Amino acid sequence: MSEPKRRAKSADDAARPSWLRVLLRQVLPPLFWVLVAAGIVGAVIWLGRAGRERLQDHPKYQVAIREIECDVPLGMTREAFLDEVQYVGQLSPKVSILDENLPDRLREAFATHPWVLKVDDVSIEPSRRIAVRLGFRTPVLAVFWDNRWRAVDADAILLPQNAPTQDLPRFRGAPKAPQGPSGKAWGDADVAKQAREAAKR
């Protein structure tokens, strides 16, 4: 390199701020490779998810709602209960074990059923076994309304029409009309009070 060019280069280097020289020589090259690696990892994750979504509808990974293992409320068969869970939870007749959102979807669907007090656990295994552990509401009081006895739990939640009432204490008085469907609080202070008292017996 000629002396004038060497001097010109040295002058350029001297004119650059020190932080700019560090950025160009030490920061940008490693950052470039970090970005390349991140892009490769992102592409692999995207391809994996795309492949997973394509396989979701394959019969090998589909499970019928009626095949889910769970306990059932009083007086119901498992098939009837799961049919109702599918209806109130707006689920398809079959679900895919590859669906990443399936545990949350099942938890929400079961929790929507008026018999269900809580969803303790949702287990999904590669063998296509789905098990849901539930806690159910317990009838404690029978309330006469619309020419029939209806059961409520300790929180005065109106239970489905198939809830047994024959051995329950009877509500004393004339109740107000229920303020909502099964699974909602009756909405009558006297019903709530007598339900709490009945639960303590």
Q: How confident is the model at residue 64 (pLDDT cuts 50, 70, 90)?
A: very high
pLDDT tens digits, residue range 166-197? 999 999 999 999 999 999 999 999 999 999 99
> What are the boundaries of each domain within the chain?
59-136, 141-200
Burial of 120 (0-12, 13-18, 19+ CB in 10 A): exposed
Residue labelled with tokens 């008292």: 197
Residue 89, φ and ψ in degrees, nearest 5: -90, 0
pTM here is: 0.71
pLDDT tens digits, residue range 4-16? 455 445 545 555 5
Q: How confident is the model at residue 164 (pLDDT cuts 50, 70, 90)?
A: very high
pLDDT tens digits, residue range 112-131? 999 999 999 999 998 999 99
With a cut of 90, say whether residue 146 has pLDDT above it: yes
